[in-house]
């Protein structure tokens, strides 16, 4: 009996020690970003594994200060669904009218894009079940409604993409049930935020709703989950889903040689810094020996992507497969800590050099210009046929440059199911005092104002175009004109140009 008790006590101590190690690892975690080169933007998942891993780089700094909602919260990147999130979308001064909303989302939680050689793949079920956690009150009706999706208008090649994840053993990059629930939650948050504003009327026409996505199944399915949370049981016959071949959502304006040069220079800078880090190289060599592969194969397999999946789903870190000489050996939190330390060093160096900000400016100008044009159209009186609610479903490599182009240098790296929201507001008609005669004259229709929110937080006055704006009680929002001037001219100052064409091709 005593030996049995002793054995159980020993087991409990081992479990407790493992739990403590995992908690320490969580505290070390700060979100990681992985960004492909321009040559892989159109084929994110075509070459999985080592070849794709070679081209995905970290090129966005995480400099958000510590706080309860920052990326230094170890659970921030995973974005585990819960009901406590605050959403400040839809808030405005009294009597202001909401004219349009444009939303850019990152896809939800996904299965890793990379497999660490000679380790077991994480066991995750990618079918949907309302009885499995995490779940959502809308999940059952969502699954049923997706079966009617053939009634919508789909741009090729989207019509062949499955509308819900459906593999009992997740495939590479596949959206998980967690990812679906994250966006059902996001859509429902915005439904509640805008329920009193009627930005999209109950009798909305197909012209008033815009949905576009890349062709990856995880972005298509994330967009549909968000849309269902926002418009439960929506009429498929009124929905058209547009295809974006580029992760930058640049449409017909994607050709920009200077943008590609800035990205290549940034990646060379990153490579030089990484290979000069002896501690990092030693750590990769140790990790490779642990699982029994060559160091270059371990690095190409991008262990961070797999480690994050294990972390977000509460799974132990990968271990060497049974049957080999390394059976039972596992990757450790100490190894992860070294990788994360090097990434922090890279963040500081990247900010100092500034190449990524130049890349981001040219990468996201087409999307920002399209956003500005939609706002102008929605602001016209009687704009019944204009797109007043737009949803774009992209990737971390979509939102990262978008944040940087806006000048949001302290924004945390895009977590799973991150969202950026652009709101257009009109102030009420008001009288204004003439500075010369003291007479009062009628305002034509109230001013136009913009709000930008990131994961529910108002970041408008942290943007490059409104950071220096004199905000006061009489004008608590940022004038739309600031944004228009920024997108059409001012944002190119960072690359010593005055237009997109000049910035891309030179004078």
Q: What is the mean pLDDT of the chain?
A: 84
Q: Which residues contact 200 (CB under 8 A, 6 or more apart)?
A: 194, 208, 209, 231, 388, 389
Domain endpoint, select from 352, 378, 405: 352
54 pLDDT above the threshold of 80: no
Residues 167 and 284 in one domain: no
What's residue 181's pLDDT?
98
Q: Which residues contact 50 (CB under 8 A, 6 or more apart)?
A: 297, 300, 301
Report the C-alpha gap between 41 and 23 in whole angstroms.
36
Per residue in 220-256, pLDDT (tens digit) is 999 999 999 999 999 999 999 999 999 999 999 999 9
What's residue 507's pLDDT?
63
- Total structural domains within the chain: 2
Please answer whether residues 146 and 175 qualify as being in contact, where contact means their C-beta atoms are separated by less than 8 angstroms: no
Residues 276 and 306 in one domain: yes
- Tell me, yes or no, whether 23 lies in a domain: no
What CA–CA distances, in Å, run from 48 to 43, 247, 318, 393?
10, 17, 19, 21
Residues 113 and 234 in one domain: yes
Per residue in 60-114, pLDDT (tens digit) is 233 333 333 333 444 688 998 876 777 899 998 889 999 999 999 999 999 999 9
Domain endpoint, select from 352, 385, 408: 352
- Tell me, yes or no, whether 267 lies in a domain: yes
Of the listed ranges 12-21, 288-297, 341-350, the least confidently predicted one is: 12-21
Please answer whether residues 367 and 491 qualify as being in contact, where contact means their C-beta atoms are separated by less than 8 angstroms: no
Q: What is the mean pLDDT of residues 268-293?
A: 95
Report the C-alpha gap between 243 and 181 in whole angstroms.
23
344 pLDDT above the threshold of 70: yes
What's residue 368's pLDDT?
98
According to DSSP, the β-strands at 419-426 and 448-454 are antiparallel
- Tell me, yes or no, whether 365 lies in a domain: yes
- Tell me, yes or no, whether 87 lies in a domain: no
Report the C-alpha gap between 132 and 35 in whole angstroms.
32
Residues 366 and 340 in one domain: no
Residues 179 and 279 in one domain: no
Six-digit token pair at 393?
């479903």
pLDDT category at 324 given cuts 50, 70, 90 is low
44 vs 201, more confident? 201
Residues 117 and 231 in one domain: yes
113 vs 22, more confident? 113
Q: What is the domain-level CATH number for residue 176?
A: 3.40.50.1240
Residues 450 and 493 in one domain: yes
What's residue 158's pLDDT?
97
Domain endpoint, select from 337, 352, 367: 352
Residues 328 and 218 in one domain: no
244-249-255 Cα angle (round to 5): 100
Residues 375 and 235 in one domain: yes
Per residue in 401-420, pLDDT (tens digit) is 999 999 998 888 899 999 99
Domain that holds residue 457: 97-249+355-428+445-505
Per residue in 161-207, pLDDT (tens digit) is 999 999 999 999 999 999 999 999 999 999 999 999 989 988 999 99
Q: What is the mean pLDDT of residues 131-135?
A: 96
- Tell me, yes or no, whether 5 lies in a domain: no
- Tell me, yes or no, whether 299 lies in a domain: yes
- Tell me, yes or no, whether 293 lies in a domain: yes
Residues 215 and 360 in one domain: yes
Per residue in 367-390, pLDDT (tens digit) is 999 999 999 999 987 767 899 999
Residues 233 and 132 in one domain: yes
444 pLDDT above the threshold of 90: no
| Active site positions, annotated | 107, 396
- Tell me, yes or no, whether 305 lies in a domain: yes
What's residue 470's pLDDT?
82
Q: Among all chains, which residue has been given the structure tokens 């220096």?
A: 468
Cα–chain center distance at 388: 22
What's residue 282's pLDDT?
96
What's residue 361's pLDDT?
97
Residues 334 and 366 in one domain: no
């Amino acid at each position: 009996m005593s030996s049995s008790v002793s054995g159980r006590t020993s087991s409990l101590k081992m479990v407790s020690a493992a739990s403590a190690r995992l908690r320490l690892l969580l505290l070390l975690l700060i979100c990681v970003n992985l960004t492909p080169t321009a040559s892989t933007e159109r084929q994110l998942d075509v070459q999985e594994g080592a070849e794709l891993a070679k081209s995905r780089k970290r090129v966005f700094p995480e400099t958000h200060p510590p706080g309860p909602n920052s990326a230094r919260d170890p659970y921030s990147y995973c974005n585990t669904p819960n009901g406590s999130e605050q959403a400040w979308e839809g808030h405005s001064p009294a009597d202001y009218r909401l004219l349009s909303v444009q939303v850019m989302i990152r896809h939800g939680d996904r299965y890793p894009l990379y497999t660490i050689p000679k380790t077991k793949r994480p066991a995750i079920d990618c079918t949907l079940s309302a009885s499995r956690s995490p779940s959502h009150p809308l999940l059952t009706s969502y699954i049923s409604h997706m079966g009617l999706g053939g009634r919508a208008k789909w741009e090729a090649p989207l019509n062949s993409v499955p509308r819900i994840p459906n593999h009992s053993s997740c495939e590479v990059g596949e959206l998980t049930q967690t990812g679906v629930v994250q966006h059902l939650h996001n859509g429902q948050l915005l439904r509640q935020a805008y329920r009193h504003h009627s930005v999209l009327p109950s009798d909305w026409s197909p012209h008033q709703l815009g949905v576009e996505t890349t062709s990856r199944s995880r972005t298509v399915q994330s967009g549909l989950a968000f849309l269902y949370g926002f418009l439960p049981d929506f009429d498929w016959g009124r929905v058209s889903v547009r295809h974006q071949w580029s992760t930058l959502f640049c449409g017909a304006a994607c050709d920009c040689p200077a943008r590609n040069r800035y990205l290549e220079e940034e990646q060379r800078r990153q490579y030089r810094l990484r290979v000069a880090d002896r501690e990092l190289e030693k750590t990769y060599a140790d990790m490779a020996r642990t699982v029994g592969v060559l160091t270059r194969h371990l690095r190409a397999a991008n262990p961070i992507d797999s480690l994050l999946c294990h972390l977000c789903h509460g799974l132990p870190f990968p271990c060497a497969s049974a049957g080999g000489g390394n059976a039972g050996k596992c990757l450790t939190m100490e190894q992860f800590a070294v990788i994360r330390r090097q990434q922090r060093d890279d963040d500081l160096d990247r900010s100092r050099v500034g190449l990524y900000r130049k890349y981001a400016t040219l990468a996201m100008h087409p999307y920002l210009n399209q956003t500005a044009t939609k706002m102008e159209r929605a602001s016209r009186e009687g704009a019944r046929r204009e797109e007043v609610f737009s949803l774009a479903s992209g990737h971390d490599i979509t939102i990262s440059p978008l944040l940087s182009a806006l000048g949001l240098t302290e924004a945390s790296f895009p977590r799973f199911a991150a969202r950026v929201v652009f709101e257009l507001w009109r102030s009420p008609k008001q009288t204004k005092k003439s500075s010369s005669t003291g007479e009062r004259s009628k305002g034509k229709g109230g001013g136009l104002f913009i709000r930008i929110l990131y994961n529910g937080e108002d970041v408008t006055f942290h943007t490059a175009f409104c950071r220096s704006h004199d905000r006061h009680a009489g004008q608590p929002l940022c004038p739309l004109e600031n944004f228009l001037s920024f997108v059409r001219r001012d944002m190119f100052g960072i690359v010593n140009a005055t237009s997109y064409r000049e910035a891309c091709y030179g004078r």
